Amino acid sequence: MARYLLRRLATMLVALWLIITLTFIIMHVIPGGPFATEKKLPPEIMKNILAHYHMDEPLWKQYTDYLGSLLRGDLGPSFKYENRTVNGIIRDGFPVSATLGAIAIALALLIGIPAGIISALRRNSWPDYLAMVLTTLGFSVPSFILGGLLMYVFAYRLQLLPPAMWGTPRQVIMPALALSALPMAFVARLMRSSMLEVLQQDYMRTARAKGLPERTVVWRHAVRNAITPVVTYLGPLVAGIFTGSFVVENIFAIPGLGRYYVMSISDRDYTVILGVTIFYSAFLMLMNFLVDLAYVLIDPRVKLTGRREV
Amino acid sequence: MQLSPDLFAPLKTAEFAGEELGRPPVNYWSDVWRRLKQNKLAMSGLVLIVLLTVMAVIGPYISGHGYAEQHLSLANHPPDGTYWFGTDSLGRDLFTRVWIGARISLTIGLVTSVICLVIGVLYGGVSGYFGGRVDEIMMRIVEVLYGIPFMLYVILLMVIMHPGLKTILIALGVTYWLDMARIVRGQVLALKEQEYVLAARSLGAGTWRILTRHLIPNTMGPIIVTMTLLIPNAIFTEAFLSFLGLGVSAPMASWGSLASDGINSLNTYPWQLFFPAVLISLTMLAFNFLGDGLRDALDPRLRR
């Protein structure tokens, strides 16, 4: 167990280092640089700006400095907005994104898992067909389209919900739905197929034969065994929700980290892009790691050899 | 004993009639096709894809308005007889633009899946076939790359390169091959222990021949399924990126950029979102149906 954890941790750190180094190199070899504006700046001013941001030093020095400040948890200043730091942007934006993300994940699981269970238990009944139609739609309608449609129907036509902004529970409903539709569909499908497989196992017959009540059979024997694929999907689920929130936060004008990230992309605000990318990567990797741990706790059969079998 | 030639007579082929096959042998692919044809959803997906492809080719010429042609006096015109899908904020014909978008999306889906096919099959094939040390190192690399959230990676690539079709293809190609490589590796790893590979090797077949003639053709099923399910993924990612303003640049149109424009004027000109939205969703639906159908048709274990 300890060996496995160490190995996963090492892989994670290597990936993170790779990301940092690659993005650092890429960001510095592109022509133009962050201060290439339409207006030509006088060379003295340009020099001062570069000196201010330590961009006149040799590249390797900039790299080691950057790594050093990363280790201290400092992601540097924003190039675009003088009085903002990347840390400040993350501090402002991430709680909002995390709240929205957590609600969306909860929705996906709380609706997706029961829907999958019911579909599997009552295969080929109308609830099953309904769930299949809805999940197919969930797969096919991208979140930004769904967000737009929800906004059109509930905010503009029916005027039931506020179209944008953040702060009240009513403002959370539409973005959370738009964000959770695809993972919800995926969870429901996964749960259904895994339940169907488990229901055919011999131990299900045994459980029934020894006279256990149907409730116990379903919950203790079927669901508990069928839920492991959903747990492994949690890692990609979290990643999908957080990247998905880049567009959803933009549509609904939510002041989350995703919106800042997209803004920094169109501003070509390199330190923010770099810093937020690293922050997101580290966060998502950590989530993946926790999911792997949860997987081990749920399913004692998993052998901790460190390599996932294909 | 003396054997003279007249003791031998040629055998009449007619005597073998009993051994002839009763009906033409069912080839694997015709069997797959037969099973696929029975799947109504998969077939409607296929028909839809063919229709979309045809429209992507001829669609931009039908209405007679060019995709970059602006008529500011006719801006935000609702759908009618001349502008079937209406016009956008610059008075450009949305019907033409939507099919230009279809071209982009389908090209991206197809080319990305081919890039991933080539990289993934080679990488996964080599890794699975050689096994041991090689496999260990190659899969460790894949594992590290897997840890990188790919959407961020694509976005980064898009930020630093010039936005455009080529950039999107490169960004998607270099990030999406991982799944393909893993699937091919898993298949090859399982297949190479099969008896027919041993037979081929004992008959003197070389590594290359075993890899290309025996192992890769036998992994075709999962590869094709992965490809068809990769296409909607790539289309979705392109739309996502274009929506964020990282896709093809104006006056070119892609479904993502059209939808992004449409969202901004959703309250007043809803059709500007409606048409691209329906087309994206239909395309994703079609490819998902076809992919699911192919998976069932190609997997012999599901034969009933």
Task: Tell me what ipTM this predicted complex has.
Answer: 0.74
Q: How far is B286 from chain A (nearest CA, A)?
A: 9
- Judge whether residue B10 has pLDDT over 70: yes
Tell me whether residues A15 and B145 touch, CB distance under 8 A: yes
Residues of B with CB under 8 A from a CB of A: 139-140, 143-145, 147-149, 151-153, 155-156, 159-160, 182-183, 185-186, 189, 232, 236, 239-240, 243-246, 256, 259-260, 262-263, 266-267, 270, 273, 277, 280-282, 284-285, 288-289
Nearest-Cα residue of chain B relative to residue A277: B152
Q: Please indicate, yes or no, whether the overall pTM of this predicted structure exceeds 0.90.
A: no
Q: Which pLDDT score, from 0 to 100, does residue A310 have? A: 35
Do B110 and B169 meet the contact criterion of CB atoms below 8 Å apart?
no
| pLDDT tens digits, one per residue of A264-305 | 877 777 778 888 888 888 888 888 788 777 777 776 665 544
Among A81-90, A295-304, B115-124, the range scoring the smallest mean pLDDT is A295-304
- Number of CB atoms found within 10 A of residue B23's CB: 5
pLDDT band at B301 (very low <50, low <70, confident <90, very high): low
Tell me whether residues B277 and A280 touch, CB distance under 8 A: no
Read off the tokens for B173: 């190609």
CA dihedral A287→A290→A292→A294, nearest 10 degrees, is -130
Question: Which residue is it, tokens 């898009």?
Answer: B158
Read off the tokens for A128: 């099953």
pLDDT band at A125 (very low <50, low <70, confident <90, very high): confident
Q: Which pLDDT score, from 0 to 100, does residue B22 have? A: 59
Q: Rounded CA gap, A222 and A195, in Å? A: 7
Nearest-Cα residue of chain B relative to residue A7: B140
Q: Rounded CA gap, B89 and B99, in Å? A: 18
Tell me whether residues B263 and A288 touch, CB distance under 8 A: no
- Number of CB atoms found within 10 A of residue B148's CB: 21
Kindly state the average pLDDT of the residues A199-207. Answer: 84
Residue B245: which of A145, A251, A266 has the nearest Cβ?
Answer: A266
- Residue B4 C-alpha from the chain's centroid: 66
Mean pLDDT, chain B, as a whole number? Answer: 79
Closest CA to B92 of B113, B76, B108, B80: B76
Question: Which residue is it, tokens 């008529």?
Answer: B71
pLDDT-above-70 percentage for chain A: 89
Between A and B, how many residue pairs show a Cβ–Cβ distance under 8 A? 112
Tell me whether residues A262 and B149 touch, CB distance under 8 A: no
Q: Which pLDDT score, from 0 to 100, does residue A306 have? A: 43
Do A270 and A81 meet the contact criterion of CB atoms below 8 Å apart?
no
Length of chain B: 304
Tell me whether residues B149 and A273 touch, CB distance under 8 A: no
| pLDDT tens digits, one per residue of B16-27 | 555 555 566 566
Residues of B in contact with A23 (CB under 8 A): 156
Best interface-test mutation with A: which of B170, B230, B243 has the largest number of A CBs within 10 A? B243
Read off the tokens for B269: 């000109």
| pLDDT tens digits, one per residue of B244-292 | 877 777 677 788 888 888 777 777 777 778 888 888 888 888 888 888 8
